[in-house]
Amino acid sequence: MPSRTRRMLLSLLTATTCAAAGGWSLPAHAGEEDDLQSRIETQRSGVADLEKMDDLKSVPDEITLLRAWLDEAWSLRSKHEYDQVREVLDRATAQAELIRAKITASKLRAQAQKHEAAVQELKARIAKTRKALSDTITKKKVLEGSAQ
Amino acid sequence: MTAIVRIAGVAALVAACATPPKPRELDTYEALRKNANIQEASKKSPSLIAASEKLGERSIEEWQSNDLEESRRDALMAHIKLKTALAVLEQEQLKAKISALSAEQARAQEEYTDLAEKLASETEKLTLVQKNIEVSKAAAADKQRLSQQMTTEVQKAQAEQQRLTLQLASEQKIKAAQLALRTAETVDASKYAKAEYSAANDMLAKADAEMKQNDFAGAQASAEVAKKNADKATEIAKPLYEQAEQTNQNKARDEALSRDAYAISGADVRLERRGDLQRLVIAIPALFSKRQPSIAPGFDTVLTAVAELIKKYPTYPVQIIGYTDNKGKSSELLAISAARAQAVLTALATRGVETRRLMTSGLGADDPRFDNKSVAGRAKNNRVEIVFLYH
């Protein structure tokens, strides 16, 4: 039996058990849907923030994937597949964390590259200046020698 | 048929019990787990790694249980967490790298600043050395230029001085020649030494022309020749000129004397020549009475005039000759005539005439100027003649 079918059966069984126990009713179901909707929307707005953060465009694929998952979650929510929605949302949360880590790493990498470039430039300038200094000293000695 | 269905059912059961293909997500996850940085990542993010590994193990179990959807989901989640852990590790590594790079950059910056300062200092020194060399070169060039200029100026000055010296010498020679020529002209050399004078003039003209052409040596030589010619002309002309001049002067003086003598009232004046000598004779007739040696009265004026004439012309020797008429003994007449001459000398001396210029003589009745046959003639012959002698 496919896991999805199994999960649906499990959900139905749980709901039936809960209903039989006189615990939850339809309004409680509606509250869960709202909660999931709220989470999806929160994450979507988070995606926009992530896009803004990713000014170096280092993780466009990851963001696209995250957006697709959120769309999937939304679709699942519409089908009242709440467990699956939660799974997708958990995954999206982890993905968002990954994206943040990658963006931070990317920025740090860029910063490191800048430092490296600056160091390289300085080294080049040092080498150039050292040569110029050596040339100048040599030229000065030659001139002093010829002047005497 | 039933057997076939059974076989198919058994085959399907066997197929269902076999391990299904590993989900792609699980493959990806496992590939990522081989990353060399996993150990490091587990130190930095142990919870993430632990969660990832747990999810990975469950995914494998689910795959092996043929629960592929669950396996795929958990593998994906495990992959995400593992990647996150690796990203966090990369962050830490990058931070460390940035820190190291910052330190290196600071050191490099410090080294560069130090080198740049040294370079600036050495460049400044080099510039000073170059300037010093340029200044030295310029000074040497100036010195050489000035030295050359000075040498040239000195040479020019020496040449100019030499030229001026030559010019001056030439001018002096020419002036000397001109002076010699003027001197020659004072003795009428053009007349008395025509050839020499002309030669001197020609050479002087040549010297002038050579001076204008700055041929000072030639001018000097020509001027010297001109001077010699002029001197020679002077030497030749001078005695001739002086002689002519003297003659002219004497002639003029004689003429003046004659004019002045003729102007004396009461005296008979005549000119006569005896040999080389010219004689101006001033006769004072009837100056004496017959037989008397003393001067008759009334002749002061004429005697004074004669005395003034003698004093006016002091270079002439003067003779005073006394005469008588022919009545009487010759010896007596000579004595009377001499006394008469002496009397006139005395009269003239009393009028300021120097006696050493005067010579007296008595000729008696000799040389009568008038007829002694008549009384008047004899009276006139009792006379004294004052004679100026000259050539």
pLDDT tens per residue across span B344-380: 999 999 999 999 989 999 999 998 988 999 988 988 8
- Cβ neighbourhood burial of B283 (10 Å; 0-12, 13-18, 19+): buried
> Scanning every residue of chain B, which has its alpha carbon at the shortest distance from the alpha carbon of A62?
B80
For residue B125, which residues of chain A lie inside 8 Å, CB to CB? 140
Q: What is the pTM of this model?
A: 0.51
Query: Do A118 and B116 count as a contact with CB atoms less than 8 A apart?
Result: no
Task: Kindly state whether A118 is in contact with chain B, defined as any CB-CB distance less than 8 angstroms.
Answer: yes
Query: Do B94 and A105 count as a contact with CB atoms less than 8 A apart?
Result: yes
- Span B153-202, pLDDT tens digits: 888 888 888 888 888 888 889 988 988 888 888 888 999 999 999 999 99
Query: Do B126 and A140 count as a contact with CB atoms less than 8 A apart?
Result: yes
| Model ipTM value | 0.78
Query: Do A2 and B69 count as a contact with CB atoms less than 8 A apart?
Result: yes
- Give the model's pLDDT for residue B69: 93
Helix (H) or strand (E) holding B62: helix B46-64
- Span B269-288, pLDDT tens digits: 999 888 888 899 999 877 88
Mean pLDDT of B284-306: 87
pLDDT of A13 > 50? The answer is no
Pairwise CA distance, residues A63 & B208, whole Å: 120
Query: Do B126 and A146 count as a contact with CB atoms less than 8 A apart?
Result: no
Q: What is the DSSP string of B132-151?
A: HHHHHHHHHHHHHHHHHHHH
Pick from A91, A125, A133: which is nearest to B76 by CB? Answer: A91
Q: Give A29's pLDDT tier (boundaries 50, 70, 90).
A: low
Interface test with B, best of A122, A138, A146, A148 (most B CBs within 10 A): A122
Pairwise CA distance, residues A66 & A48, whole Å: 11
Packed helices B68-186 and A82-147: angle between N→C axes, nearest 10 degrees: 20
Interface test with B, best of A50, A133, A134 (most B CBs within 10 A): A133
- Per residue, the 3-state secondary structure of B205-248, as one string, reads HHHHHHHHCCCHHHHHHHHHHHHHHHHHHHHHHHHHHHHHHHHH
